[in-house]
Chain A
């Protein structure tokens, strides 16, 4: 045992090596690679937007941008981790309405939307409600009629306490009908349930998951929650057209923790603005079906406040 301890001490002694010191200040920002934290899994739509932005924004920022996915807690763990990181502008949150506003509005997650400073909105998405072919309803009108005749019989699948869920609940309230929610972990889980007729409808976070099925006729589109019709689904009406005054838009943008020096925020904002005007970026975004919808920091912040007022305490 003694011999073992001596060997350990010897090994520890070998570590007394000097290290180079690097210091960073606001003036020479960015002096080292910047990290984008994505609160949703790799390969998802937020991840695509985040990585795409990172890859073009690094040209305008003059530094490499690393992207990490921190999944869990409906996005709140990643969001909170950005607040815990040093407030030096090297950790940027790729944020969405779900993790940023909706979660703090429904439960105590240890942060509020305004604990962050908005850099800018990158894109907005279109939410879609689809129904199965086997169902006795195929559009909003027949759905309302069916649900009024059979209260609670019509079911829809979506994750709990996320925007697609909130949107359908709001729609049901406005239409005066009762729909039964079947919680499912994501679009990948709710789609097969609709296709197999196990549930009636699915509320999807993005049109992309449903477009192919609607075109092929394996599913029917009930409506979209955006202000205007989506270009991929020109025949699908918006909720507003259907007579329900509701526009619910999931957004993706960048934010940093409050307390980050203003000159750093300025640099980030400028780089993001230039990126969203970059032709190569726009072409890429169009290819992937991302609708770029840039808003500057203050305007993005107003969206946060608007959504907070919509979802908090309701």
Chain B
């Protein structure tokens, strides 16, 4: 975990420093006695910066105490699934963008199909049935029973 700690520690340390200096800039006018609106966020950002620097340092100190076989195995499984995970995130993003364009029903059915494929599902019949049945069920429940309007297609 040492290498991971160094990366995470360094990134978080930079994040903490940036937020520490950026926090006051986000506040407009204020009239406070004692603590300002940015005191609390800035203090926390500073704490994150210091603690992650410590984490980074600890990781560097322990860099040789690593179980090499375990590491290799872990690396291996991670790199194999990374494209799938990125694909899943992209699909979710497209779903959110696509919902108001294609309408809830179509966007949901498509997302279900694609996600299930990413998860390794190749049983096409079952997949199509789930993708065809579940969006209308959700749509009916929310829009007709609870009267919460779901996005409708604006593109067509």
Binding site for B on A (CB under 8 A): 1, 4, 7-8, 10-12, 14-15, 17, 19, 21-22, 33, 35, 64-68, 107
Q: Which of A1, A8, A17, A19 contacts B114 (CB 8 A)?
A: A8
Q: Are B84 and A4 in contact (CB under 8 A)?
A: yes
A11 surroundings in chain B (CB, below 8 A): 110, 113-114, 117
Closest residue of chain B to A17 (Cβ to Cβ) is: B106
- Compute how far the CA of A21 lies from the CA of B154 in the bound complex, rounded to whole angstroms: 9
Tell me whether A19 and B113 are in contact in the complex, defined as CB-CB below 8 angstroms, given that A4-B83, A4-B84 are known contacts: no
B87 surroundings in chain A (CB, below 8 A): 8
What per-residue 1/0 map shows which CB atoms of B124-153 lie under 8 Å from chain A?
000010000000000000000001110011
Asked if B28 CB lies within 8 Å of chain A CBs, one says yes
Q: Are B117 and A19 in contact (CB under 8 A)?
A: no
Asked if B41 CB lies within 8 Å of chain A CBs, one says no
Q: Are A7 and B156 in contact (CB under 8 A)?
A: no
Q: How far is the CB of A151 from chain B (nearest CB, A)?
A: 15
Tell me whether A19 and B106 are in contact in the complex, defined as CB-CB below 8 angstroms, given that A12-B114, A66-B147 are known contacts: yes
Q: Are A64 and B114 in contact (CB under 8 A)?
A: no
16 A-B interface contacts by CB (under 8 A): A1-B83, A4-B83, A4-B118, A8-B114, A8-B117, A8-B118, A10-B117, A11-B114, A11-B117, A12-B110, A15-B106, A21-B156, A33-B147, A33-B149, A65-B147, A66-B148
- Compute how far the CA of A4 lies from the CA of B121 in the bound complex, rounded to whole angstroms: 11
A7 surroundings in chain B (CB, below 8 A): 117, 122
Interface size on B, residues (CB 8 A): 21
Closest residue of chain A to B146 (Cβ to Cβ) is: A66
Q: How far is the CB of A264 from chain B (nearest CB, A)?
A: 18
- Compute how far the CA of A77 lies from the CA of B71 in the bound complex, rounded to whole angstroms: 47
A15 surroundings in chain B (CB, below 8 A): 106, 109-110, 113
Q: Are B156 and A14 in contact (CB under 8 A)?
A: no
Tell me whether A35 and B28 are in contact in the complex, defined as CB-CB below 8 angstroms, given that A7-B122, A11-B113, A14-B128 are known contacts: no
- Compute how far the CA of A264 lies from the CA of B147 in the bound complex, rounded to whole angstroms: 22
Binding site for A on B (CB under 8 A): 28, 83-84, 87, 102-103, 106, 109-110, 113-114, 117-118, 122, 128, 147-149, 152-153, 156
Closest residue of chain B to A55 (Cβ to Cβ) is: B147
Q: Are A19 and B153 in contact (CB under 8 A)?
A: yes
Q: Are A19 and B103 in contact (CB under 8 A)?
A: yes
Q: Are A107 and B28 in contact (CB under 8 A)?
A: yes
Closest residue of chain A to B84 (Cβ to Cβ) is: A4
Ranked 8 nearest A-B pairs via Cβ: A11-B113, A15-B110, A66-B147, A11-B117, A11-B114, A7-B117, A66-B149, A19-B156
Q: How far is the CB of B30 from chain A (nearest CB, A)?
A: 10
Q: Are B148 and A68 in contact (CB under 8 A)?
A: yes
Closest residue of chain A to B110 (Cβ to Cβ) is: A15
- Compute how far the CA of A55 lies from the CA of B114 in the bound complex, rounded to whole angstroms: 40
A1 surroundings in chain B (CB, below 8 A): 83
Q: Are B113 and A14 in contact (CB under 8 A)?
A: yes
Q: How far is the CB of B72 from chain A (nearest CB, A)?
A: 21
B103 surroundings in chain A (CB, below 8 A): 19
- Compute how far the CA of A67 lies from the CA of B106 in the bound complex, rounded to whole angstroms: 24
- Compute how far the CA of A19 lies from the CA of B156 in the bound complex, rounded to whole angstroms: 8
Q: Are B128 and A64 in contact (CB under 8 A)?
A: no
Closest residue of chain B to A7 (Cβ to Cβ) is: B117
A64 surroundings in chain B (CB, below 8 A): 147
Closest residue of chain A to B102 (Cβ to Cβ) is: A19
- Compute how far the CA of A25 lies from the CA of B114 in the bound complex, rounded to whole angstroms: 36
Q: How far is the CB of B138 from chain A (nearest CB, A)?
A: 16
A35 surroundings in chain B (CB, below 8 A): 149
- Compute how far the CA of A66 lies from the CA of B87 in the bound complex, rounded to whole angstroms: 35
- Compute how far the CA of A140 lies from the CA of B120 in the bound complex, rounded to whole angstroms: 72
Q: How far is the CB of A119 from chain B (nearest CB, A)?
A: 20
Q: How far is the CB of A84 from chain B (nearest CB, A)?
A: 12
Q: Which of A17, A22, A65 contacts B152 (CB 8 A)?
A: A22
A66 surroundings in chain B (CB, below 8 A): 147-149
- Compute how far the CA of A15 lies from the CA of B110 in the bound complex, rounded to whole angstroms: 6
- Compute how far the CA of A207 lies from the CA of B64 in the bound complex, rounded to whole angstroms: 68
Closest residue of chain A to B127 (Cβ to Cβ) is: A11
A21 surroundings in chain B (CB, below 8 A): 156
